[in-house]
Amino acid sequence: MTTIAYLDCFAGASGDMLLGALLDSGWPLAELQVVVDRLGLGAVTVEAARLVKHGLAGTHVEVIAPEAQPLRHPADLIRHIDAAGLPESVRGRAVGVIEVLDEVHFHEVGAVDTLVDIVGVIAGLEALGVGRVVASPLPWSHGTIKIQHGVYPVPPPAVAALLEGVPVVGVDVAGETVTPTGAALVAGLADEFGLMPSMTVTRVGYGAGRKDWPDRPNVLRLVIGQAEAAGAAQSETLIVLACNLDDMVPEWYGPLVEAALAAGALDVWLTPTHMKKGRPAVVVEVLCRPNAAADLRALLFRQTTTLGIRQSTVTRWALARQMTAVQTPFGEVRVKVAALDNGTRKFSPEHDDCAALAADHGVSVREVWLAAVGAAGGQISLGSGTAGSGTAGSGTA
The domain limits of the chain are 3-226, 234-318, 321-392
Helix/strand/coil (H/E/C) assignment for every residue in 19-50: HHHHHHCCCCHHHHHHHHHHCCCCCCEEEEEE
Q: Which pLDDT value is given to residue 105?
A: 58
Rounded to 10 deg, the angle between the 351-361 and 365-376 helix axes is 120
Q: Find out whether 255 and 94 touch, Cβ atoms under 8 Å.
A: no
Global pTM? 0.66
User: DSSP characters for 207-234?
Assistant: EE-SS--SSS--EEEEEEEE-PPTTS-E
Which is the CATH superfamily of the domain at 234-318? Transcriptional regulatory protein pf0864 domain like (3.30.70.1380)
Q: Which pLDDT value is given to residue 106?
A: 60
The alpha carbon of 194 is separated from its chain's Cα centroid by a whole number of angstroms, namely 9
How many residues does this entry show for the chain? Answer: 397
Q: State the Cα–Cα distance between residues 18 and 276, nearest whole angstrom.
A: 52
- 9 CB-near residues (< 8 Å, 6+ apart): 135, 136, 137, 138, 139, 178, 186, 220
Q: Which pLDDT value is given to residue 73?
A: 82
Q: State the Cα–Cα distance between residues 359 and 85, nearest whole angstrom.
A: 54
Q: Which pLDDT value is given to residue 191?
A: 87
- Provide the b/e sequence for 126-152 (b: ≥16 CB within 10 Å): bbbebebbbbbbbbbbeeeeeeeeeeb
Q: H or E segment at 313?
A: strand 310-318
Q: Which pLDDT value is given to residue 86?
A: 93
CATH class of 321-392: alpha beta
Q: Which pLDDT value is given to residue 128?
A: 96
pLDDT along the chain (397 residues), means of 10: 91 96 97 96 94 96 85 86 93 91 62 92 96 94 87 91 90 94 93 86 96 94 83 76 96 96 95 93 94 92 96 85 88 87 82 95 95 75 35 46
User: DSSP characters for 119-159?
Assistant: HHHHHHHHHTT--EEEEPPEEEEESEEEETTEEEESSPHHH
Q: Which pLDDT value is given to residue 397?
A: 55
- The residue type found at 128 is L
With CA atoms as reference, report the closest residue to 334 among 376, 363, 382: 376
Q: State the Cα–Cα distance between residues 25 and 175, nearest whole angstrom.
A: 27
Q: Which pLDDT value is given to residue 392?
A: 42
With CA atoms as reference, report the closest residue to 120 among 9, 26, 210, 39: 39
